[in-house]
Amino acid sequence: MCGIVGYVGQEQAAPILLEGLSKLEYRGYDSAGVAVYADQKGTLEVHKAKGRLQVLSDLLQGGASVHGCVGIGHTRWATHGAPSDVNSHPQVSRSGRIAVVHNGIIENYAELKAFLMEQGVPFTSETDTEVVAQLIEHFYDGDILQAVGRVLRRIEGAYALGILCADAPDQIIAVRKDSPLILGYGKDCSFLASDVTAIIRHTRDVVYMDDGEVAVLRRDGIQCYNHLMQPIEKEISHVDWEIDAAEKGGYEHFMFKEIMEQPEALRRCIFPRIRDGEVYLEDFALSEEYIRNIEKIYIVACGSSYHVGMVGKYNLERLTRKPVEVALASEFRYMDPIVSADTLVIVISQSGETLDTMAALREAKRLGATILSIVNVVGSSIARESDMVLYTWAGPEIAVATTKAYSTQMAVMDLLALYFARVLGTVAEEEYQAAIRELLLLPAKMETILADKDDIQYYASQYFNHNSVFFIGRNVDYAMGLEGSLKLKEISYIHSEAYASGELKHGTISLIESGTLVVALASYQKLFEKSMNNVVEVKSRGADVLALTTESRREEMGKVANAVIAIPDTHDLLLPSLGVVPLQLFAYYVALMRGCDIDKPRNLAKSVTVE
C-alpha cells in the first residue's frame, strides 16, 4: 500500500527519494510523486506521474533535474479518486506553499472539504489528502507546527503524513496515527519512511513513531512530540538485518528468492527456540497457571496468515485439547465475539500493520482478552500493541505473495502448540520428542523439496493453460489447500477454489468435468484412504488429478492420480509446512509461464492498511 519517503540533508534530495520509493514499490502502488524545497526559488517543486515509478524517474532524469536537499516522496495506491497525475501525492495547498504525502484514509474528509469550500478554497483533486494540505494552509499563520497541531485535532481516520512548508525550508513534519512511519537518523541528515527497506542504505538507526506522535526532522536531528505537542525522547532502535535481504540477489523475482530462503528462515526461527529437546519461547509472559485456565483461544488474521491460523487450529486443538476458533480479522470485530479475560487471542500478521487485524486486536483487548501476536516486522504496530510478541525472524519479505513469512508463522504456531501441550500435560513424552526432532529436521527436508523444483516446473508447464483449478483435501490438507489456491489465484489470475474433500459432493462436484484440474492434497496420514477415495471420485467425473502426498504413499497414490508430487514423511504436525512448498512453486511457475507480474500482482498491496 502507499509508501512515504522523506529526506533532509546536504545531498540532492530527489535521487534519494526516488531510490527510497523504489524500495517501497513492493507495497503496491499506481502513481508516484515528489516535492522538494527548491532552495534557489524559495518554493516547493512538485512532480507527479501516474503509473510505474520509472515514469517519474525518467521525467526527472533519475532525480538529477530537481535541485534541493529537502523533500518528500510518495507511491500512491488509490483509495479516494482514480489513479491519475492530479490525484497523485504530494498534494499541495492552494498557494502551493504546503505539500503533503499521506498513507491511510481521512474519514471525515467530505465534511472538512465542504467547510473549506464554503470558505472559498478551490480543490483540484478528488483525494482526501488534499483536504489536509488545504486545512493546514487554512490554519497557518506563520507557525507551521501549530497549524499541523490544529489540523490533527480535526481530522479523523488513519494517517501517516509527511509535510513540507515553503516557509520552513529546512524541515519536514511527520505525523503518525494507525499507519506506520519510521524516522531515520543519519550523519548530518534525517529520514522519514513507511518502512525500513526505503532507508536502510543510509541508516540503521531508526525510531518507530507511535500513534498520535509528531516529529520535526532537520539535518542536525529530529524532535519528537506527543499528541499534546509536548517534546518527548524516543528510543533509537538498530536494524540488524543485511541490506542484501531486501535485494533480489541474482534471482528473477523476489517471490522465488523468498521461496528458496525458507529453509534458512526456518533455521533462524526454530533453532534458537529449541534447547536440549525443549521448546523455549523468549519474552513469554504467560504463566503456567494462565495457560491452564485458558477457556478458549481465538486465532485472528487475514489472507495467508489466516490460513496459518487454520492449520494452527487443527494442531493446537489436537495437542492441547483447548477449543480454538479461527476468525477472519475483517469479520471478528463485527461479530460480537465471545471474549473474556480467560480468552487468549493469537494475532498473526507478517507486516504487523494490516488494518483489519489491528482493529480486531484492539477489539479483543477492549473485551479483556490477552493478546499474543506472531509478527514478522519488528517494531510494527501490531507487535507494539500486543501483550506479547513472538517474532518469526523471516527477514524482510518483499514479494506481495507471502511465502517465507507463511512458513515461519506456521513454525511459531507449532512451537506454541508444543509449548502449551507440555505445560498442560496433554502430549505424551514420546510424541513431544518426535515432534521436536522433526522440527529440527524441517529445514533440511524442505531443502530436498526445493532441490526437486524442476519437477514442479514440469507440472506447471502441463497445466498453466487451465482456467479453473480445484484444491481438495481433508483436515490440515484442506487448510493447506486454501493457501495453495490463494497463491495460484493471486499471482497467476487463474480462478481456483479450495474445498474440504468431503464437502465436494454437496454441490461443487457438479463443476468437475472432463479435463478439470484437481490438485488433491493427501499428506495427512490418518485420512489418506479417504483422500484416495476422493481422488477416485473426481477422476471418475473426468478430472485430471495432480496429487500431493508423502514419499511413503507415492506409489499407492500413483495408481489413481494422473501425477504425484511427494514430500518427505514427517510428523503430522509439520506436513503442511512441507506440503505448501510445492504449491508455492507451482503457483510461481504457472504465473511465470503466463507472463504475469509475479512480485506485484494487479490490484494487490503488500501491506493492507485500509479496511
Active site residue 189: no
Nearer to ligand F6R, 134 or 194 (CB): 194
- Judged by DSSP in three states, 429 sits in helix
Residue nearest to ligand F6R (CB): 303
| Closest-CA residue to 20 (of 44, 40, 4) | 4
CB of 402 to ligand F6R, least distance (A): 4
CB of 328 to ligand F6R, least distance (A): 10
Report the Cα 84 to chain-centroid distance in Å. 26
CB of 284 to ligand F6R, least distance (A): 21
| Continuous segment of H or E residues that includes residue 190 | strand 189-193
Show the CA angle centred on residue 119, arms to residues 115 and 125, nearest 5°.
70
Out of 2, 165, 224, 302, pick the active-site residue: 2
Q: Is residue 134 within 8 Å of 121, Cβ to Cβ?
A: yes
| Closest-CA residue to 8 (of 97, 68, 95, 89) | 68
**How far is Cα 584 from Cα 456, in angstroms, rounded to an integer?**
10
Active site residue 2: yes
497525475: which residue's cell? Answer: 85
CB of 443 to ligand F6R, least distance (A): 21
**How far is Cα 484 from Cα 498, in angstroms, rounded to an integer?**
8
Nearer to ligand F6R, 350 or 531 (CB): 350
Nearer to ligand F6R, 137 or 483 (CB): 483
Nearer to ligand F6R, 112 or 410 (CB): 410
End-to-end CA distance of the chain: give it in Å, rounded: 12
Which residue blocks in 52-183 are alpha helix, DSSP H?
Answer: 53-59, 109-118, 129-139, 144-152
**How far is Cα 307 from Cα 413, in angstroms, rounded to an integer?**
12
CB of 349 to ligand F6R, least distance (A): 3
Which residue blocks in 7-51 are alpha helix, DSSP H?
Answer: 13-24
Question: Which set of grid coordinates corresponds to residue 483?
Answer: 493457501
- Judged by DSSP in three states, 96 sits in coil
- Give the HSE-up count for residue 292: Cα atoms under 13 Å, Cβ half-sphere: 6
Q: Is residue 436 within 8 Å of 274, Cβ to Cβ?
A: yes
How would you class 220 by CB atoms within 10 Å of its CB: exposed for 0-12, middle for 13-18, buried for 19 or more? Answer: exposed
**How far is Cα 502 from Cα 507, in angstroms, rounded to an integer?**
11
Encoded amino acid at 226, one letter = N
CB of 1 to ligand F6R, least distance (A): 10
Out of 48, 453, 487, 606, pick the active-site residue: 606
Nearer to ligand F6R, 358 or 521 (CB): 358
CB of 499 to ligand F6R, least distance (A): 19
Nearer to ligand F6R, 303 or 443 (CB): 303
| Closest-CA residue to 503 (of 540, 473, 536) | 473
**How far is Cα 490 from Cα 323, in angstroms, rounded to an integer?**
32
Show the CA angle centred on residue 55, arms to residues 51 and 60, nearest 5°.
140
Nearer to ligand F6R, 329 or 546 (CB): 329
CB of 6 to ligand F6R, least distance (A): 24
Q: Is residue 509 within 8 Å of 541, Cβ to Cβ?
A: yes
CB of 608 to ligand F6R, least distance (A): 5
Binding site for ligand F6R (CB under 6 A): 302-305, 349-351, 354, 357, 401-402, 486, 490, 607-608
With b for 16 or more beta-carbon neighbours within 10 A and e for fewer, the 417-441 pattern comes to bbbbbbbbeebeeeebeebbebbee
Active site residues: 2, 606
